[in-house]
Structure 1
Amino acid sequence: MRINKLIALLIVLFAMQGANAQAKKYKIHTVAFYNLENLFDTINNPNNDEEWLPNGSQNWTGEKYKRKLQNMARVIAEIGTNDQQKESPTFLGVCEVENRGVLEDLVKEPLLIDKQYGVVHFDSPDKRGIDVGLLYKKKNFTLTSYTNVPLYIYKDQEKKSKKEEKEEITDDAIAEDLSSKRVYTRDQLLVTGFLDGEEINIIVNHWPSRSGGEKKSSPFREAAGALNRKIMDSLVKINPNAKIITMGDLNDGSYNKSVKVEIGAKLKKSELQSAGDIYNPFEQMAKEGHASLFYRDSGDIFDQIMVSERFINSDSSTYKYWKAGIYNKPFMIQTTGQYKGYPLRHSATEEGFSDHFPVYVYLIKEVK
C-alpha cells in the first residue's frame, strides 16, 4: 500500500515538474551574418568602384542595383525564422558593402522598413572599396559606442614556399601600398550597447582573402585573428563578465590557425573556463559536412559566429547562446548546371543573391 502511495506521489511530482517546464516562456533574438557580395550603388565614388558603374565591366545599372537590394532584403527578412522564431534578426553583421548609403537604401526596402534597423558603418581602407557594417533593431538594442579597429598587415608577412601554390581565383585580390608594403584590408568593427538592458559587445569581421593561395596568405588572417583576440581581451579586462559575439567572413575555416590558435575558439562548450574563452558552434557543423560557401566543388564554413563564455555559463535570467544554423532555403540555391547546389549568385544573366549563405545563432532568455 505504501509503495502504491509513493508511486502516486512521484507521478504527481513529475506531472507538476512537467507543467512548470511547459509554463516557462523564453525571449529569443537572432544574431546573423551575411556576406552581401558586392553591394555597390551606381554612383561614382572616390574608391575603386569603376567596374560597378553603368559604363563599367559589370554593366551595373540602377535597375540591377534595385533588384540586388530586393533580393538581399528578402533573405534578411527571413534569416532564422521558423515556428519558434517569427522575427527577422535583431543583429545582422554584413560585409562587401560599398558605403553607408547602400545600407541605408537596404533598410528602407519594403520588406525591412518596418523592422526599423539602425546602421553602424565606417569606410575602411580596403583597396576594393568594400566595408563591414552592422544592422540592429533600434527597438531592442540601445547603441552606446562603436569604433573601427584597423588591421595592420604587410606584404613581407606572406609565407615563402619553395613549392609554388596554386593560385586561388577570387575577385577579392590583396592589394599593397608599394612604398610601405602595407596590405590594406577591412577594419574590424566593434559595437557595444544594451540588448533589452543587457550589455552586449559585437565584433564584425571580413578577414583578408586567400588571393595568392591559402598557405601564402594565411599570415594575414592569422594577424586578423590575433587582433580579434586582442579586442576581446581588452573587453574582458574592462568587464570580467563581458558578453562578446564575434562574427564575419573569415576566409578561413574553423579548423585554421587563425581561428583555433589566434582566437582560441573551442569546439565544446565544456572547454570554456574563463570569461575570455570563445565557443564556435560552426566547428561541429563543418565536421558534419555543412557549408556556407563552395569553391572548386568543396564546401566549407568561412562565415562564422562565435560567443564568449558568459553566453554559455550564465543563468537563464540573462541572454544565453541556444543554437546555430546556416540559412540556405531552396530559393537561394542554384538548381541546375555546373554549380548546382551552390549559393545562387547575382550575375549578368541571373537575378540571384550572394555566393555565401548567411549564418545565425539564437540568444535566448527565460522571461517570468
Structure 2
Amino acid sequence: MAYTVMMVFGTRPEAIKMAPLARVLRHWPEVDLRICSTGQHREMLEQVLTAFGLKVDQDLQVMTQNQTLNGLSRDLLDKLDRAYEQVKPDIVLVHGDTTTSFIASLAAFHRHIPIGHVEAGLRTGNLQQPWPEEANRRLTGVLADLHFTPTRDSDANLIREGVPPEHVEVTGNTVIDALLWMRDKLQRDNWRPAPESPLKVLRDDQRMVLITGHRRENFGSGFERICLALAELALRYPDVQFVYPVHLNPQVQHAVYSVLSGRDNIHLVAPQDYPHFVWLMNRAHIILTDSGGVQEEAPALGKPVLVLRKVTERPAVLKGGTVKLVGTLTERIVHETSQLLDDPAAYARMARVFTPFGDGHASERIAERLTRWFADQSAARDNA
C-alpha cells in the first residue's frame, strides 16, 4: 500500500532543504509523493527545482504585488484547503519557519491531516528575532505530529515544551544533504559559471567576500548600516572582491543599489541559482549573511561566517567557533570583517570544517521514520 505524502513549500530556502528529501521519497516504495508549491519565491523556486530535477504537482500561485503577510496567509489558507480536498494526503510535510509552513500546518490541522515538521525545534526565545520566523516555527511545532530535528539541542527544546519524545526524531539537517550532493556534482562535472554569467568577472587571484541579506527585521536602518559597512570595506580593501546576490524584495533592492552601485570591487548580481550559489560559497574567503541556511551550509565548507543579526536560532554553529554574530552596526561589521582579512591567525581559527547538522543522510532518516509511522498508524487502525 502506498501512502500519499504531500510536501508543501514556497520559498527558495525551503525548496533547497526539501529537495533532497523529495528525491529520496520519489523512490521510496511506500510513498506516493505530491509536491505542492505556494510560489512565495516563484523565480528562485523554479531554479532550485530545476537543479534537483524536480517538478511540482500543484502550483498555488498565491503571490501578488505589495502583498501583506495577513493577505498571504488568507490566500494560502483558502488555496491549501482546496488542495488538501483534492489530494487527500495521509500526511503533510512542511519545512522550517515560513508563513507557508505555518499556514499549511493550520490548514492540515483543520482537516485532521497529520503534519510532519522538517527542521523542527530551533528557537531563539524572542518572537521578534527573527520576525516572523520564530513565531511561524513555534506555531508549526504546536500543530505537528512528527518533528524531525537537526540537532540534540533542537530535540531538547521540543521536549521542554511538552512534545512527547516518541514524536521527535533527530535526523540532522537536509540542507547538508543538498549541499554535499550539489558540491560533489559540481566537482565531478568540473563546473564553472557560464560565459554569460556576471560571475565570470571574478578573479582567481583575489580573495572574495560573499554577502547575502533578506531578513525583514533588518529592513530600513539595518540594511542601510550593512550597506555602509560594505562600502567602507570595499574602499579599505580594493584588492578584495565583494559579491552580493541581491534579493528580489524591493526594500532590499532599494537599500543595496542606492548605496553600493558603481563601486569597482562590489559586484551586485541577481539571485543565483543553487549550483551558482554553492560555487560562490565554496569559492568565498568570508561570508556575511543574515540567512539561516547559510549559517548551516558555510561551516560545512570550512568558510568563516559573520551573521548580520542580533540572535540566531542555530546555537550549535556558535559553539563551533566558525560563526560569529556581529549584528547590523556598521563599525562592528567593518571591524570583524577587517580582522579576518588582516589577521591570518584569526582567520584560521574560523576557517575550518564544522558540521553539527549531520552527515548528509538526514533525508533517508526522515523517510525511514515515516515508514515506521505509517506502519504504526496501520496497526492502530487494524486494532481499532
Structure with more strand by fraction: 1
Structure with more helix by fraction: 2
State the TM bucket, normalised to the shorter chain: under 0.3
Mark the structure with the bigger radius of gyration: 1
Name the TM-score, length of structure 1 as normaliser: 0.28
